Amino acid sequence: MTTSEVILQARNLVKEFVLRDQGGLFGHKRILRAVDDVDLTLYAGETLALVGESGSGKSTTARLIARLLDVTSGSVQFQGEEVTGLSRAELYRFRSNVQVVFQDPYSSLNPRHTVERIVTAPLVYQGRTVPGGARTFTRSLMERVGLNPDHSARFPSQFSGGQAQRIGIARALAVGPKVVVCDEAVSALDVSVQAQVINLLRKLQQEEGLTYLFIAHDLAVVRQIAHRVAVMNQGRVVETGERDAVFREPADEYTRTLLAAVPRIRPEWQAARRARAHDRRGG
């Protein structure tokens, strides 16, 4: 359940990258502003979906908020504390509260490590004790995300894409975060598997009171999970609002264009599908 408590806030967020044309150090230099004066607010227990086309700046924004990238300018605050200038030790504490689930589970999981080592790694890196021992802790987390705990000694390549993504979710949960950034976390999965992972994320949110920043380009997926939606275009947030309000009456032309591209089931197709189902049941 969402509350009015602000858990994470970005203000005037800017990220610039220096690009050089051919010529190495002496080539022509230009500045790419990937994120341009972005404001975002996350409330405790909600899912805020950050949507836009590829290259819109949404994933860069997510990495700035998770402190995987340094900001060029602007502010990121977690529970009222500025986090853009944290020391290494302070970053460890911050990342206990803000974790990331990445798009490609296979590239984000070390192929040479077992599930047990992958899941407990965040605790080890932070110098924290693994509650109950590594094996027991891992088995418990695997059960929570819908995996067979007897497979804790297996490697990522021995799991399907959906199962591997569940390992990534278990790893994120290991440190007990309050915010999880899902960076295109279901976009690489088949549609049926997407639905299973989304249901898992919603279940975990209800059980743990998690807050999600959900990065996506697929508005059909966003509609299933988001409470609010922020739309990005060319590095800027062009619209923010409650999910149903944005889908029903988008205020920005770019949002209307995105929504127009979402496939819709035509009424005659729905009627035909219901008729076929009726026939299969024998009238």
**pLDDT band, very low/low/confident/very high, at 25 (cuts 50, 70, 90):** low
Q: Evaluate whether 65 touches 58 at the Cβ level (below 8 Å).
A: no
Predicted local distance difference test score (pLDDT) of residue 78: 96
Average model confidence (pLDDT) for the chain?
A: 88
Domain that holds residue 234: 6-97+178-282
Angle at alpha carbon of residue 103, lines to 97 and 108, rounded to 5°: 75
Q: Report the distance separating Cα 69 and Cα 13, nearest Å.
A: 12
39 or 28, higher pLDDT = 39
Return the SS3 of 56: coil
Predicted local distance difference test score (pLDDT) of residue 176: 94
Residue partners of 250: CB distance under 8 A and separation at least 6: 231, 239, 256, 259
Nearest CA to 197 among 218, 178, 228?
218
Q: How many domains does the chain have?
A: 2
Whether residue 195 sits in one domain with residue 86: yes
Q: Report the distance separating Cα 201 and Cα 182, nearest Å.
A: 10
Please count the residues of the chain.
283
Whether residue 262 sits in one domain with residue 187: yes
- Two tokens, residue 65: 């908020």
pLDDT at 60 over 80: yes
Whether residue 78 sits in one domain with residue 115: no
Among candidate residues 125, 152, 176, the one where a domain is terminated:
176
Whether residue 144 sits in one domain with residue 61: no
Predicted local distance difference test score (pLDDT) of residue 214: 97
Q: What is the CATH number of the domain that holds 207?
A: 3.40.50.300
Question: Rounded mean pLDDT of 220-245?
Answer: 94
